[in-house]
Amino acid sequence: MDYKSLISKKLKGNTDIYLIGVFADKKLSHLNQSISNATLTLIKKCFDNNSFTGDIGDNRTFDDVENKFQIIVFGLGSKDKFGPINLNRSINLIIKKIKKTKTKSISLNIDNIISKDLSISPEFLVSSIENSLYKYSHKKEKTNISIKKCNFVSKIMIPSKILNQSILTGKAIANGIKLAKDLGNTPPNICTPTYLSNEAMKLKKINKLIKVTVLDEAKMKSLGMGSLLSVSQGSKEPAKLVSIEYMPLKNKDPIVLVGKGITFDTGGISLKPPGNMDEMKFDMSGAGSVIGTMRACAEMNVKTNVVGIIACAENMPGSQATRPGDVVTSMSGITIEILNTDAEGRLVLCDALTYAKKFKPRYMLDMATLTGAVLAGLGKYPSGLFSNNDKLAELIKKSADKTGDRVWQLPLYDDYFEELKTNFADIQNIGGRYGGAITAAAFLAKFTEGVNWAHLDIAGTAWEVGESKGSTGRPVSLLIDFILSNQ
């Protein structure tokens, strides 16, 4: 979509639909000269009759005959609760309403949306609108959306330099989220470890600085990645470990992102129950978010070094599959007793985290749909955050608050590490009955000594269920903001 900045009095004849966001206080002082007096009177009557509440999802349509466009007034909710989450909800609902029509041009009044006190930037707004247009197509064809132009209407024009940069950044973020969603939504018979590695290779076409390296099973075996390979050995689909390097700066330690890429998780020999098992195609969402983030970095030409690593495997039962009770040796040399083959994400990640140390990371973040336990503890709203570094955790929280891609930090007390002890290896791959998300993070922490590391458990946030079933693309927006804020 093309974006343009317009001052209010020049809107006439330049749009099909004019979108006006209104808070629950129903104030209209931000409209200025952008609509006719007759239409303004109609809107005020509607408000006075209390038929419009200003709540998110509430909207009313008016015809401005004098200006020859349609007006849709839509709710932004309570002003004191306004922020990225409520804005995204409001924009998504109103775009969903109009994208079914043949509307070609829309305009959005931004005077009460983009401001310093509300902390909404133009690039965030662009990203929000672009994301609202997303629709998955398994045929890989372009989605036929009629809306081609969006005007940002305000009292003062947005300077062209700021607007152009905002459009570039906003679209890059949206493209990264879209790619993560597409990968998550792709059926598991198509989205295999090889498919993910091929999608990573495509990033080289976006930016010549991108370097992609794919390790096959023979190479991983030579490096001693016995833990990762234990997960794939029951499947005919070979595992892949992929590194995506974007290094525009010399002699600067990179931010390293590590993603779990289990393209389908049956649980292996510790077989999952059949209900909702189709959702296990989303178990590669950590890897998808890494690929999406790296795409956005490549598009934006960010001025920092970033490395993405994805550990890809399919977890299947079979005659060659790992058994509960097996002991494997990780790349780090730590031996692992596998008590539950459905706790496989940590097994691929631990070798990926060890491999990632070769890049001497400034910060290392891993993303994984790791545990159902994080859902039990936090529900589907925030991702679980764990870290061995308080400063890093605070930086991640700051980006989460800014983007609305929420996180909640959980502890890593020494007690949880005690639960990983076993008589038959250095550690076992599960803890006790309680605190499963924490003992899983404690397992990963064993492989991150000497590195500023954080872990995001996105098992509750990576996809939606029900009518809106599909990948959310989280935590791409958080990761991109973290990178941009820590260049």
CA angle 381, 131, 28 (to 5 degrees): 90
CA neighbor of 436 nearest in space, from 369, 365, 374, 353: 374
Domains of the chain, residue spans: 2-154, 173-485
Query: Hey, what's the torsion of the CAs at 470, 459, 344, 362, to 10 degrees?
Result: 110
Q: What is the pLDDT of residue 90?
A: 97
Which class in CATH covers the domain with range 2-154? alpha beta
The two structure tokens encoding residue 329: 């040796």
Instruction: Spot the catalytic one: 79, 97, 204, 272.
Output: 272
Is residue 141 scored above 80 in pLDDT? no
How many CB atoms are located within 10 Å of the residue 244 CB? Answer: 26
The two structure tokens encoding residue 4: 């343009």
d(CA 242, CA 200): 8
Q: What percent of the chain has pLDDT over 70?
A: 98
Q: Where does the pLDDT of residue 142 fall: very low under 50, low under 70, confident under 90, or very high at 90 and above?
A: low
Burial class (CB in 10 A: 0-12, 13-18, 19+), 78: middle
What mean pLDDT value characterizes the chain? 95
Radius of gyration, CA atoms only, the chain:
24
Q: What is the pLDDT of residue 11?
A: 84
Q: Where does the pLDDT of residue 119 fall: very low under 50, low under 70, confident under 90, or very high at 90 and above?
A: low
The two structure tokens encoding residue 106: 């829309």
303 is catalytic: no
- Please give the helix or strand (H or E) that residue 445 lies within, else none: helix 436-445
Beta bridge partners of 243: 213, 309
Q: What is the pLDDT of residue 116?
A: 64
Is residue 143 scored above 70 in pLDDT? no
Instruction: Spot the catalytic one: 260, 295, 346, 402.
Output: 346
Mean pLDDT of the 356-385 span: 98
- Helix pair angle (122-132, 160-185), 10° resolution: 40
Question: Over the stretch 376-428, which tens digit does the pLDDT of each residue have?
Answer: 999 999 999 999 999 999 999 999 999 999 999 999 999 999 999 999 999 99
Residue at token pair 């931004």: 110
Do 327 and 427 meet the contact criterion of CB atoms below 8 Å apart?
A: no
323 is catalytic: no
Q: Which of 137-151, 164-178, 403-417, 470-484 has the least mean pLDDT?
A: 137-151
Contacts of 407 (CB under 8 A, 6+ apart): 382, 383, 384, 385, 396, 397, 400, 456, 475, 478
Mean pLDDT of the 41-50 span: 89
CATH superfamily label, 173-485:
Zn peptidases (3.40.630.10)
Question: Over the stretch 168-220, which tens digit does the pLDDT of each residue have?
Answer: 999 999 999 999 999 999 999 999 999 999 999 999 999 999 999 999 999 99
* Phi, psi angles (nearest 5°) of residue 98: -95, -15
